[in-house]
Amino acid sequence: MLNSVFLGCRNKIQGKDKLIKKVLIANRSEIACRIIKSCKAMGIETVAIYSDADANALHVKSADFAEHIGESEAKKSYLDMDKVIRAAVESGCDAVHPGYGFLSENHEFNRKVRQNGLIFIGPSAESMELMGSKTSSRTLMIEHGIPVVPGMFIDKLEESKIAELADEIGYPILIKAAAGGGGKGMRVVRASNELISAIESARRESMSAFGSDEVFIEKYVENPRHIEFQIAADQHGNIVHLFERECSIQRRHQKIIEETPSTALTKDLREKMGEVAKKVCQVANYNNLGTVEFLFDNSGNFYFLEVNARIQVEHPITEETTGIDLVKLQIDIANDLPLPFEQNDLKQTGHAIECRIYAEDGDNDFLPSSGKILMLKTPVGEGVRYDSGIETGSDATIYYDPILAKLIVHANDRESARLKMIAALKSNVILGVKTSINFMIACLESDEFKSGDTYTSFIALNYEKLKNYRQDKLLNLGLATANQYLHDAQASQIIYDYSKSNPWLEMGNWEICSKYEARSL
């Protein structure tokens, strides 16, 4: 740890007479570029950090300054707290923005940043620690009457007692890592004879991922929706919600398509859930931005799931429908400024959808793909936004999360947004690595998504159909094109009239797979 006594509190804001002027972004790629954009608009200088693998990355080029912090492996660079803080101090920063992932919800990092005289752009270390544990946060919510999924803590209990508790809750049950997230340390158990082995497996995975083997069990809600509320709380006791995001389209418990508003919520239910979300933050003494996540069942019941103490990947759809720059709002709150609005001032306009563009193979169980981006063509148009950490020539490395970019669309209504997103995905060309674009088009064109009937197990239950959907469509279009060509040739119209129908544009973008073949994305 750096010498906090030596550094003192040189960057501590006294009142409002010293605002943040220089920020180190303790992250990389897309979210780093996103934060840089808001900082530039606010006249704030930015310092990027980078590993060996990211020496030529877009976020490094976009920042005012850049600091090399280590080898490509994350634990030797982006996850090394002392290196990150040292880079912030030595580059003369006032504050650190953690982005999402990496150290963003690490309360120890949060505390070290503050101890070294820097402002942490996020909640207090105490609130982060409280919300970071599913067991402690769950206990707090129960104490304050906030609905949670029925469940029990099982740490240090005998196997017979755990089995008894599981029978009491009722199968299926869900085993969850107390310190985890992203689906790690999570197992669904449908029968009693699977229980103990599943717990042992979840404990091992949790220890490997989070350094803790504490797990708990709760009732598994079949086919729920995942609905979250964006919260903003200043340091003066003011709390608002900025409405909900529907995040039910997930693979391996990780969201890939999000939208707002949710098709499941009525006006009254939205207000009720929003007030509960605000209460969650109030009882946790939470400030800055955060997201309160709920499970929503088929009967209209909702249950507190967790609080994400950071900016969310899907925050742009909230920005598009409210007109509020959430990163700027984070910085303003860190500057000890009061919220510039009250709950009644906030409203949503239109509908927004976000698709996460991953370097992965949607047709092969989402296996990560790596390589050089040989060509990038981004979609453009009114209501189309592309938050990216890549450019032509960028490397999609094996060392980090495979997210490349986020495609966001905004329109007057949901169906217009859905069609706009499909068109935008088709015009998003990324050559050199496999991407999830093709698979997301299949999701958006599914009957379930069209009707708004989405749920967290949608992909798991429909994977084979979704995987083959675009391939089948390509084959049918190819046959139709061949038939049309032969018909035109017989009529002495050798040139195919693409102005009437262009199947290649309809199929969207393409990638070169080998010297002799091409494959639709």
Active site residues: 310
Closest to 265 (Cα-Cα) out of 293, 279, 244 = 244
* Residue 207 contacts residue 213 (beta carbons within 8 Å): yes
44 token code pair? 């704030």
Amino acid occupying residue 233? A
H-type alpha helices, 192-298:
195-210, 267-283
Q: ∠ at Cα 144 (143, 150), nearest 5°?
A: 60
Closest to 372 (Cα-Cα) out of 57, 27, 68, 59 = 57
Q: Distance between CA atoms of 443 and 266, rounded to whole angstroms?
A: 24
Q: ∠ at Cα 289 (285, 291), nearest 5°?
A: 90
Q: Distance between CA atoms of 341 and 362, rounded to whole angstroms?
A: 42
Q: Distance between CA atoms of 22 and 43, rounded to whole angstroms?
A: 9
Which helix (DSSP H) or strand (DSSP E) does residue 125 occupy?
Answer: helix 125-132
Q: Distance between CA atoms of 513 and 519, rounded to whole angstroms?
A: 6
Chain centroid to Cα 512, Å, comes to 29
H-type alpha helices, 302-388:
315-322, 326-334
- Identify the bridge partners of residue 46 per DSSP, sorted by sequence position: 23
Q: Provide φ and ψ at 308, rounded to 5°.
A: -95, 115
DSSP codes, 479-496: HHHHHHHHHHHHTT--S-
- Identify the bridge partners of residue 25 per DSSP, sorted by sequence position: 48, 97
Residues whose CB is less than 8 angstroms from the CB of residue 42 and which lie 6 or more positions away in sequence, other chains included: 328, 331
